[in-house]
């Protein structure tokens, strides 16, 4: 390869962290809006957001109660939460700082501005009064940075590793929203089934897929159709199938891609064979759990193949 392993890895993680910050902001925005719309007493708990991001152990180290204040502080302003917005933006900035020579100059400027904005306003945006403006600004700036990369960066290895990081993170978030969100928000123990459409709409909004769903499926949001749409629609940029197709496209030109491509093919086959509209909650959870494991294997394959420097190999051998 013509690119150093450490540079490829930092570009990959820059994209993952930016995507993580944007996706988390979308999730919080949609969930807050949903909670305000649902009648008092029937709204789900704030712990759902922590569970979607699989961050319960980390949350428990900092807070006791899963109330709105604690969850928002944890997801927006907690510097020690890798899945939080402030932490993700800070990590993205550090990866851009160390790879500035292979990126357009404007990317560093805008990522640095995003970091300074988040550092100044994250703590102030925990309350509902300032939350929406902060989240919308984070989303808009992440989109601007991604648009700048797409429109200015040559389609070489730098671009490929950025896209790999972005698409893998996006697929991961979509499966988490479907799994934990659907199971927890629509559990059998919930008594207020009349608010189900609001909950499914919120999940679609968190993936920026509500408009597309209405155009392609219809105005009524139903569980099976929604899950099938965000998992298996090949034209939806945030669907799992779209992400897998994009990952495969970026892997093909790379050397030593056999193992990673085999995992992508395996994931696509499992996705094609699964029918969300004919499965139970338990079957959906089991499928997502196994699918998440394949995504983890895919990351590990990418890491071993292109990011494993001699120093890291030596440390791995010693441990």
Residues in contact with 69: Cβ distance below 8 Å, sequence separation at least 6, in sequence order: 126
Residues in contact with 82: Cβ distance below 8 Å, sequence separation at least 6, in sequence order: 58, 88, 91
Is the pLDDT assigned to residue 60 strictly greater than 90?
Answer: yes
- Residue of 26, 31, 15 whose CA lies nearest to 138: 26
pLDDT at 93: 97
Is the pLDDT assigned to residue 319 strictly greater than 60?
Answer: no
- If DSSP codes are grouped into helix, strand and coil, which group holds residue 65? coil
Is the pLDDT assigned to residue 285 strictly greater than 60?
Answer: yes
Mean pLDDT for the stretch of residues 17-23: 97
pLDDT at 37: 79
How far is residue 41's CA from residue 151's CA, in Å, rounded to a whole number? 47
Is the pLDDT assigned to residue 128 strictly greater than 90?
Answer: yes
- For the residues of 44-56, what is the DSSP string, one character each? PPTHHHHHHTT-H
Is the pLDDT assigned to residue 185 strictly greater than 80?
Answer: no
Question: With bands split at pLDDT 50, 70 and 90, how would you rate the model's confidence at 309?
Answer: low
Q: Are 55 and 180 in contact (CB under 8 A)?
A: no
Show contacts of 92-99: CB within 8 Å, 24+ apart.
92/13, 92/14, 92/17, 92/18, 92/21, 95/10, 95/11, 95/13, 95/14, 95/17, 96/14, 98/10, 99/7, 99/10, 99/11, 99/14
**Mean pLDDT rounded to a whole number for the chain:** 90
- Bigger pLDDT: 7 or 280? 7
Least confident stretch, 85-89, 223-227, 241-245: 223-227
- Bigger pLDDT: 259 or 51? 259
Is the pLDDT assigned to residue 231 strictly greater than 50?
Answer: yes
Question: With bands split at pLDDT 50, 70 and 90, how would you rate the model's confidence at 115?
Answer: very high
User: Would you tell me how many other CB atoms lie within 10 Å of the CB of residue 39?
Assistant: 10
Mean pLDDT for the stretch of residues 223-249: 95
Percent of the chain with pLDDT over 90: 72
Sign of the torsion angle spanned by Cα atoms 198, 281, 48, 111: negative
Question: With bands split at pLDDT 50, 70 and 90, how would you rate the model's confidence at 193?
Answer: low
């Amino acid at each position: 390869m013509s690119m150093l392993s450490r540079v490829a890895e930092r570009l990959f993680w820059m994209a993952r962290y930016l995507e993580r910050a944007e996706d988390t902001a979308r999730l919080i925005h949609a969930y807050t809006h949903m909670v305000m719309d649902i009648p008092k007493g029937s709204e789900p708990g704030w712990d759902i957001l922590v569970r979607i991001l699989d961050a319960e152990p980390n949350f428990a180290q900092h807070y006791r109660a899963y109330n709105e204040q604690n969850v928002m502080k944890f997801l927006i302003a907690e510097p020690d939460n890798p899945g939080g917005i402030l932490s993700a933006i800070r990590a993205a900035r550090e990866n851009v700082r160390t790879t500035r020579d292979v990126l357009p100059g404007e990317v560093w400027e805008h990522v640095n501005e995003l970091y300074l904005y988040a550092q100044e306003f994250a703590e102030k945006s925990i309350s509902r009064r300032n939350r929406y403006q902060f989240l919308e600004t984070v989303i808009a700036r992440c989109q601007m940075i991604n648009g700048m990369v797409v429109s200015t960066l040559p389609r070489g290895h730098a671009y490929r590793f950025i896209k790999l990081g972005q698409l893998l993170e996006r697929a991961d978030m979509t499966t988490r929203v479907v799994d934990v969100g659907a199971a927890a928000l629509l559990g059998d123990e919930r008594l207020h089934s009349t608010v189900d459409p609001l909950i499914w709409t919120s999940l679609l909004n968190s993936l920026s897929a509500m408009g597309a769903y209405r155009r392609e499926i219809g105005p009524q949001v139903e569980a099976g159709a929604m899950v099938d749409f965000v998992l298996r629609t090949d034209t939806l940029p945030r669907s799992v199938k779209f992400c897998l197709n994009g990952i495969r496209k970026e892997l093909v030109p790379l050397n030593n891609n056999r193992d990673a491509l085999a995992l992508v093919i395996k994931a696509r086959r499992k996705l094609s064979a699964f029918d969300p509209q004919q499965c139970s909650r338990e079957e959906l959870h089991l499928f997502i759990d196994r699918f998440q494991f394949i995504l983890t294997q895919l990351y590990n394959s990418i890491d071993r193949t292109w990011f494993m420097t001699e120093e890291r190999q030596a440390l791995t051998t010693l441990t």
